[in-house]
Amino acid sequence: MAPENFQPSFHALAIINLIGASQALLSAAALTGARRGNRLPNRYFAFFLAALSIYIIMAVLLETGYIVRMPYLLDIENPFLFMLGPCFYFYIRAATGESFKLRGKTLLHFLPSLLFGLLWLASLFINTEVKMADYRNRLTNTEQFDPAQLIAFLIIDLQIFMYLIAGWRKLANFARHGAPAALNRVSTDWRWLRNLLVALFAVALFSTVLDVLSFDRANMRFTPFLLTIILCSLSYFGLRQSGLIPISVGEHARKYAKSTLTPEASHGIFLKLQQVMEHEKLFADSTLSLPKLAKRLAVPTHHLSQIINERFGQNFFNYLSSVRIEEAKKRLSASEADSTTLSEIAYAVGFNSLSAFSTIFKKQSGVSPSQFQKQQQSQVGA
């Protein structure tokens, strides 16, 4: 039975939203089937996209009224809404090199999704007319306040907010403590991911406001549309970033086609590399070489070379120079820099001569070390 005064019908916005959902499913399939690249974060992001697509499809069916032809699907979107936050959060954790497994306490993140999935299964035994009556009321009686429905919506909204904030903190922590060269190489990827977090937070806030105002039909129409815009941006920008869909193609894919290095091992070595560079400052050793660094990390030299190539898009020499320059920038920006000569800083970060330091610094920064120092001093004095 269709809602009173409401006949099922498609409109342009619903079609656009379905296109967005289809795009999310195709992207999820591409990520799941990728054999190379960072497969672990790929899979979490694929689950996120799949859950998002199911939500959009259900929102379209509910808003257009076509759910009356499939009443058993009512509320099936709820378990997937509870999957969005954990999947996106675990994607960020995996993408930043954190090592973890989905077991024990980690699986508790998906407990709400499981519980709501069981509730939906139980609802299959409820009379269809009762479910459709509730659906009619949600669409046609917008002025009636339903506290139970509002609380359910707000619980979902709050859960999504919590995971988005946790993801933001995880990303910010990586930015603070990651190796300087790593941040220099992937700054575009992480800026893009940061912008994605902000966009998702804004959509979640928009949806929450509509929930509080009981504008259910508007929420089912415009929230999926905003998500579709984000998905289109994902296709244009995100799929071009190696950190989001790292399906290795081109030179690196051909070069390492027969490599025995697994994505999981690559993540672990990458994290160890960050730690020794940040905390032990091995770059300060002017005699540091690729074999010497590989020995310190207890990994094969060719694996370390592959990771540096794939993660930073650089050879070992350029990578090491980038790390040293980033450290030099910190020292030039420090308050005690006035009492330290450029030569002292150059030697302290691992360069063998001031001329080599100045040449590489200007090549990477666009200004000479002395010019950079003056810029920092002027900013402090402003």
Least confident of 39-53, 109-123, 135-149, 336-350: 135-149
**What pLDDT was estimated at residue 103?**
79
What's the number of domains the chain is made of?
A: 2
Q: Identify which has the larger pLDDT, 57 or 145.
A: 57
Q: Of 109, 89, 84, 82, which is closest to residue 41 (Cα–Cα)? A: 89
The SS3 assignment for 5 reads coil
pLDDT tens, 222-254?
A: 999 999 999 888 766 655 554 444 433 334 545
In this structure, what CATH number is given to the domain that contains residue 349? 1.10.10.60
- Does any domain span residue 250? no
Of 2-6, 178-182, 348-352, where does the model show the most confidence? 348-352
**What pLDDT was estimated at residue 336?**
65
Same domain, 166 and 314: no
Least confident of 122-136, 270-284, 352-366: 122-136
Across the range 196-203, mean pLDDT stands at 93
Question: DSSP character for 188?
Answer: H
pLDDT tens, 264-314?
A: 788 888 889 988 998 899 999 999 999 999 999 999 999 999 888 877 778
Same domain, 25 and 82: yes
What mean pLDDT, rounded, does the chain reach? 81
- Structural domain for 344, as ranges: 258-381
What gap in Å lies between CA 360 and CA 358, rounded to an integer? 6
Same domain, 150 and 195: yes
Same domain, 141 and 290: no
Same domain, 28 and 70: yes
- Does any domain span residue 29? yes
- Listed in sequence order, the DSSP H helices in 178-282 are 180-212, 216-236, 250-255, 263-275
Asked whether the beta carbons of 194 and 293 are under 8 A apart, the reply is no
Q: Identify which has the larger pLDDT, 356 or 337.
A: 356
**What pLDDT was estimated at residue 237?**
63
Instruction: Write the single-letter amino acid at 195.
Output: N
- Confidence check: pLDDT of 180 > 80: no
Of 211, 240, 269, at which residue does a domain stop?
240
Across the range 254-260, mean pLDDT stands at 65
pLDDT tens, 54-110?
A: 999 999 998 888 888 888 888 899 999 999 999 999 998 887 766 677 778 889 999
Same domain, 225 and 340: no
Same domain, 27 and 173: yes
Across the range 138-156, mean pLDDT stands at 70
- Does any domain span residue 5? no
Of 177, 209, 240, at which residue does a domain stop?
240
- Confidence check: pLDDT of 113 > 60: yes
Same domain, 227 and 194: yes
- Does any domain span residue 2? no
- Does any domain span residue 73? yes
The neighbour count for residue 31, using CB atoms within 10 Å, is 25
Same domain, 122 and 22: yes
**What pLDDT was estimated at residue 89?**
94
Instruction: Write the single-letter amino acid at 150.
Output: L
pLDDT tens, 292-304?
A: 999 999 999 999 9
What gap in Å lies between CA 52 and CA 111, rounded to an integer? 18
Same domain, 309 and 179: no
What gap in Å lies between CA 98 and CA 112, rounded to an integer? 24
- Does any domain span residue 251? no
- Does any domain span residue 253? no
Look at the block and give the residue holding tokens 């051909």.
254
In this structure, what CATH number is given to the domain that contains residue 111? 1.20.1070
- Does any domain span residue 246? no
Of 205, 240, 275, at which residue does a domain stop?
240
Same domain, 277 and 368: yes
pLDDT band at 380 (very low <50, low <70, confident <90, very high): low
Same domain, 55 and 198: yes
Which sign does the torsion angle of CA 228, 232, 234, 235 carry?
positive
